[in-house]
């Protein structure tokens, strides 16, 4: 079964968050979100808006395109 785009996006956010040394709570605070919503993004149960995608990239200090990179090997090692 193929992973949903939301799941892949969430795994990438998690990978970048962990690489930045941030907790879900830290990243949520930087984005102006509740931690529970950040958890939903990372588990693929939320479909963030473009505004939120921009906020995530800004908070993680990466280009928006980095959130959509498909190399998930580092994420699966966690």
At 78 the pLDDT is: 40
| Joined tokens for residue 77 | 């090692």
Residue ranges per domain, the chain?
Answer: 5-68
Low-confidence residues in the chain, pLDDT < 70: 1, 71-78
- Does the domain at residues 5-68 carry the CATH identifier 1.10.260.40? yes
| Joined tokens for residue 53 | 């995608």
Give how far Cα 60 sits from Cα of 3, 13, 43, 64, Å: 24, 9, 18, 10
At 77 the pLDDT is: 43
At 12 the pLDDT is: 97
At 71 the pLDDT is: 65
């Amino acid at each position: 079964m193929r992973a949903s785009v939301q799941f892949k996006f969430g795994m990438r956010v998690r990978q970048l968050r962990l690489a930045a040394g941030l907790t879900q709570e830290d990243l949520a605070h930087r984005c102006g979100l509740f931690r529970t919503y950040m958890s939903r993004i990372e588990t693929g149960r939320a479909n963030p808006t473009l505004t939120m995608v921009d906020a995530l990239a800004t908070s993680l200090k990466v280009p928006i395109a980095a959130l959509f990179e498909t190399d998930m090997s580092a994420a699966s090692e966690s």
